[in-house]
Structure 1
């Protein structure tokens, strides 16, 4: 791949950037051999004024995301723990794929529709995509660049890398800030909005949901919102969904405290970011520590396995009963059936999101 963006990527990106000027949310954006869409109601991919999407910046970010050159041992890339075929998630509960081989304390989350996310990581420890990559780049168990200047020095020694940065940002473009900007640009293009559910929402010819799937949608809207709200299927907030007792909070600050690690507020103990339900059928295992292996196990947890604690979300509390949701076996089956309609096969195989040639 040349440092500049391929011709097939430039046109659709410009179309997305101009979306706010009148593009219908149901209009396909041609990108490669299949149409790309935004979630219904969205008209453009939002970006920061100091880091607008450009074809060259996205192309550089794509190359960096898939390049092991960013790791201290030259063997681990962002994509190592965020596989496209799994909606940029990982199939291990606590992956050992980082440079150290030690297990992480959190499950690697799926990277889906990040441009609309408010707060990143399971505890919201990063406020925006421009700062997101610093943590995995420097973590000794992930990409291992404990000293970032050494990483930058390695990159500066490689003429091809310098050329790629100059193509995106001009002369002298190789810098840590531009590296973070380009990764952020690429991650903003990880847009998933062409599942069978989306096609049905757009009213495309032949798109339909079965009676059971429609029942599952109604149950999700009744029981799972507002946490899994809007076309993004997340409220971008933090909740205690009954995984642990009060005694567990604080035993390991990184693993169990959740949002309280960042906010330092006791009422946030055990609160974690609401993940999107998009592509949920292929992003197992589930929860911040990957403790639940299947969608059925997740629904069993909500039906009768929730743990009482002082910070348990009020939505799950029931007077005189165990906390949870009133779901019978038919309800569970319907919800699982609907969740499968949120799998976006085009997103999982999009050539422009895969490793560049």
Structure 2
């Protein structure tokens, strides 16, 4: 038996040894040929190089992951209604990861929701009373913001350079006043942002904490409520937050030391910063994958990056760089309607905190990454589709007129059945015309686009969507599940 095995093995080895020799006489198949660059690809390559685009968004590696303990704590805080003064609203009520990080409404509904657990287009206000003047921005990629947040940029990083050329920076907020350092600001803009919705009566505070006269006092009450100490001790029927904070921060400190509003804001900031949603078809194309876009999308990209005076759409003038924003403020005269921020119901945007004339009706230029997921659009959500937005850039006067011919606020899905919709149109035409008059006096030049060009541009905007952001199964990693601790039994059980 052993001899047979040895003989058989020898024959097998001889045969195997011969195979490479035989294979040398057989040519390997040539590598697959790449399709030659089309004229459109060549033109886009030149535009990409001209604008310094690499397809890589810097800073993403430094941001927290949703799996990290503090980000997980931030998720629990983001979804608890205990941060709402009246325990009726959570951060996620207006910023749901399953709704593009926003709420799908033209104007948000905060403390006056008819059903506190309804999130999204079905959310209604008590007596249809809208009391928040601006559309909810997405929280996606908010951790990448390093210039300003909010529509008017009221939370802003100010960079100064001394005589020796050394740079330093600070964060200014509504608490400190424009251009002044806020000593209580967090290290990041996104964590600093978390300090303000909880202090707004319309957004989250409601009529709670009646003895609190400053924002810091409101925040102290919230920290005491979560930490179960001080004046708010016992205000939550169930409270296991100390255990949650100790686990997340790996600390055995007492509640008063560990659960401050600073630590709450930090955890909320870590959660929001973990939304890194930049894996888009466009970025893959810019990195060299020519198959990432189809021909229509490529035509739209060419329009986007080509100046108006060269027969393009000129969008890149403001929506530049890897994040598609120059972080500036600009008046585009999107329709004015709603309650506004002024006595005449106008929303003058950036000018409310910095009265420089160019800031009148100017709003922060948003990033366009994931823009297809965040309708309605504009500071007041006046446009419900990207097609309407592109129409506005092509002919603002005509698009604004169409908005009012279709009923203004009453023509929007959110308010179409509201008995109060006409009140949102009060002085809307006059305020829209005021913004439009200033736009006519600005360097803005409307892009004269044909219908097919508009469709191409919209097709390109859809390529700016992250793969995970539009996948509900993927996004669920940022939403508490049945295994996620619920320290106070006040979790937002959101239904749409």
- TM-score bucket of the superposed structures, by smaller chain: 0.7 to 0.9
Q: Give me the whole-angstrom Cα distance separating, in 1, the residues matched to 2:82 and 2:105.
A: 23
Tell me the alpha carbon deviations over residues 110-166 of structure 1, each in whole angstroms, 9 at most, x when there is no partner.
Answer: 122112221000000112222212221111111116533332222122542112222
Q: Does 1:197 align with 2:282?
A: yes
Q: Give me the whole-angstrom Cα distance separating, in 2, the residues matched to 1:125 and 1:240.
A: 16
Please report how far the alpha carbon of residue 224 of structure 1 lies from its aligned counterpart in structure 2 after TM superposition.
0.3
Please report how far the alpha carbon of residue 46 of structure 1 lies from its aligned counterpart in structure 2 after TM superposition.
5.0
Query: 1:71: which partner in 2?
Result: 84
Query: 1:34: which partner in 2?
Result: none
SS of the residue aligned with 2:361? coil
SS of the residue aligned with 2:241? helix
Instruction: Count matched residues.
Output: 308
SS of the residue aligned with 1:346? coil
- Seen in structure 2, the aligned counterparts of structure 1 residues 161 and 312 have a Cα distance that, compared at 3 Å, is farther
TM-score, normalised via structure 2 length: 0.57
Please report how far the alpha carbon of residue 54 of structure 1 lies from its aligned counterpart in structure 2 after TM superposition.
9.7
SS of the residue aligned with 1:310? helix
Residue from 134, 142, 152 that aligns with 2:203 = 142
Please report how far the alpha carbon of residue 257 of structure 1 lies from its aligned counterpart in structure 2 after TM superposition.
1.2
SS of the residue aligned with 1:350? helix
Query: 2:438: which partner in 1?
Result: 310
- Seen in structure 2, the aligned counterparts of structure 1 residues 215 and 327 have a Cα distance that, compared at 3 Å, is same
In angstroms, what is the RMSD of aligned CA positions? 2.9
Map of 1:119-268 to 2, 5 A cutoff? Answer: 119-127=148-156, 128-144=189-205, 147-157=218-228, 159-169=239-249, 170=251, 171=253, 172-203=257-288, 207-222=291-306, 223-243=314-334, 251-252=342-343, 256-268=347-359
Query: 1:9: which partner in 2?
Result: none
Larger CA deviation: 92-101 vs 134-143? 92-101
Q: Give me the whole-angstrom Cα distance separating, in 1, the residues matched to 2:266 and 2:363.
A: 26
Q: Does 1:42 align with 2:41?
A: no
TM-score, normalised via structure 1 length: 0.77
Larger Rg: 2
Residue from 277, 283, 291 that aligns with 2:374 = 283
- Seen in structure 2, the aligned counterparts of structure 1 residues 175 and 288 have a Cα distance that, compared at 3 Å, is same
Larger CA deviation: 96-105 vs 178-187? 96-105
Larger CA deviation: 281-290 vs 298-307? 298-307
Query: Is this contact kept in 2: 1:260–1:268, CA < 8 A?
Result: yes
Q: Give me the whole-angstrom Cα distance separating, in 2, the residues matched to 1:335 and 1:290.
A: 20
Query: Is this contact kept in 2: 1:241–1:312, CA < 8 A?
Result: no
Q: Does 1:108 align with 2:136?
A: yes
- Seen in structure 2, the aligned counterparts of structure 1 residues 258 and 313 have a Cα distance that, compared at 3 Å, is farther
Gaps of 5+ in 1: 1-37, 318-323
Larger CA deviation: 332-341 vs 56-65? 56-65
Please report how far the alpha carbon of residue 201 of structure 1 lies from its aligned counterpart in structure 2 after TM superposition.
3.3
Please report how far the alpha carbon of residue 69 of structure 1 lies from its aligned counterpart in structure 2 after TM superposition.
1.8
- Seen in structure 2, the aligned counterparts of structure 1 residues 95 and 52 have a Cα distance that, compared at 3 Å, is closer
Q: Give me the whole-angstrom Cα distance separating, in 1, the residues matched to 2:465 and 2:94.
A: 20
Query: Is this contact kept in 1: 2:98–2:475, CA < 8 A?
Result: no
